Amino acid sequence: MLDFSLFLVPVEKKEYSESQLGKKVTFSAASTAEIERNSLCLVHVKEFRNHSTSYQESLEFREHLYTLYSQTSWKSKIYDLGDLNPGERIEDTYFALQTLVSELVKISCIPVVVGGSIDLVQAVFVGLEISEQLINVCAVDERLNLGQPETPISSRGYLSGLLMRRPCYLFNHATVGVQPNRNDPQELALYDKLYFDQCKLGTFNSDFRLAEPHLRNADIVVMNMDSVKASERQVQQGNPNGFTVEQFCRIAKYAGVSDKLSCFGIFNALPNPSYDAALVAHTLWYFMEGVEERKGDFPIGSKKEYLRFSVLMENEFKELVFYKSNKTDRWWMEVPYPPTEFTKFERHHLVPCNKTDYENAMNNELPDLWWRTYQKLG
């Protein structure tokens, strides 16, 4: 049991109408003992010290979020645990957040973290290590944020810190919205050598469904507000290219629908202008809607509930096996792994994919997602 008063400053509850989301939220939880299992637990972390610009103000997203209207079909319990203020050292903030995430995951709740700079992903990841399972991360970001092993963690480089942890629980990292002109070619090459996945912004714009398997495969989804184009955020400086507001919210809903997702976060939102606060609120709303629309697919559902397709290949792999959910029409493909590593890789041998991957396999084309996963399992 974690006493929230050790880390968190509670939020004052305001008056909301019966249909507004704020009416559905519980603000009074004092510890994990008072939280129902399988709930959504929101926390705001006001930590920017590893960002290029430091901010002291709060992001007033709650004023926008809780005046939105919830749907009558929503059943999930929602808690607002309050604000996690910066510690004396940034390491203290990391420790507080990872402890909170760990305790919430123990009771099968989904931590929803509003930052703060995106280096806080490090703390979220460490908190999820309590499961002692290999972890997949999907970042919605224009940059890879790989960083250098010898440099401190920052909002421009947190991934190397995850790779250097021992034991290393990071199985896969995917980035949706990559803009090659905003990334060092050496980082792009190294990311590829690690067999990590990326969906470039142009690819996403051509067919947004191509990003869905990466989101469905993730235990942690983190969304960087810097990946939204500056004109959409109504700021003078920032990313001239990027996602539209509608695309950003659609991605959040896809993340929520995934039965595999355990943690969700939005980072690098600026306290000023206030439009960022409104965008964060709408993104959170669509994520919550996605959670409500979960169907109990893999890893919750049994493979007995799926249609199985076997494709004979004219290469050394000879056969690829695909599964299609009877509930949602979503696709997975089976990737073999060493039999002695069964427990370690059990959650990763079914890889989310699109129907297009099955169709390409029928034309004797090995899906890229299959190949990258096979390399990591081998």
Of residues 187, 115, 125, the one with CA closest to residue 151: 187
Q: What is the pairing mode between strands 263-267 and 306-312?
A: unpaired
Reply yes or no on whether the pLDDT at 123 is more than 80.
yes
pLDDT at 220: 98
Q: Give me the percent of the chain exceeding a pLDDT of 90.
A: 66
Task: Please indicate whether residue 188 or residue 59 has the higher confidence score (pLDDT).
Answer: 188
Reply yes or no on whether the pLDDT at 317 is more than 90.
no
> pLDDT tens-digit profile of 136-191?
999 999 999 888 766 667 667 889 889 988 899 999 999 999 999 999 999 999 99
DSSP state of 3: B
Helices (H), the chain: 21-24, 62-65, 90-106, 121-128, 159-163, 185-193, 201-206, 212-216, 230-233, 245-257, 275-292, 342-345, 355-362, 368-377
- SS3 of residue 149 by DSSP: coil
pLDDT at 29: 85
pLDDT at 54: 58
pLDDT at 59: 82
Are 99 and 111 in contact by the 8 Å Cβ rule? The answer is no
Work out the pLDDT band at 263, boundaries 50, 70, 90: very high
> pLDDT tens-digit profile of 40-57?
999 999 888 877 665 656
pLDDT at 49: 81
Domain ranges of the chain: 4-292, 303-377
- SS3 of residue 139 by DSSP: strand
Task: Please state which of the ranges 202-206, 242-246, 302-306 shows the lowest mean pLDDT.
Answer: 302-306
- The encoded tokens of residue 155 equal 């909002």
pLDDT at 154: 66
- The encoded tokens of residue 376 equal 């990591």
Strand stretches in 134-244, DSSP E: 135-140, 170-178, 197-200, 220-224
The CATH number of the structural domain formed by 4-292 is: 3.40.800.10
pLDDT at 4: 87
> pLDDT tens-digit profile of 106-115?
999 999 999 8
DSSP state of 279: H
pLDDT at 115: 84
Of residues 313, 309, 355, 359, the one with CA closest to residue 334: 309
pLDDT at 52: 61
Work out the pLDDT band at 372, boundaries 50, 70, 90: very high
What average pLDDT does the structure give for the chain? Answer: 90
The Cα 79–Cα 149 span in angstroms is: 37
Ramachandran sector of residue 195 (left: φ over 0; alpha: ψ -120 to 50; beta: rest): left
Reply yes or no on whether the pLDDT at 304 is more than 70.
yes
pLDDT at 342: 53
pLDDT at 356: 93
pLDDT at 331: 95
Work out the pLDDT band at 214, boundaries 50, 70, 90: very high
Work out the pLDDT band at 340, boundaries 50, 70, 90: low
Task: Please state which of the ranges 252-261, 301-310, 352-361 shows the lowest mean pLDDT.
Answer: 301-310
Task: Please indicate whether residue 339 or residue 232 has the higher confidence score (pLDDT).
Answer: 232
pLDDT at 28: 82
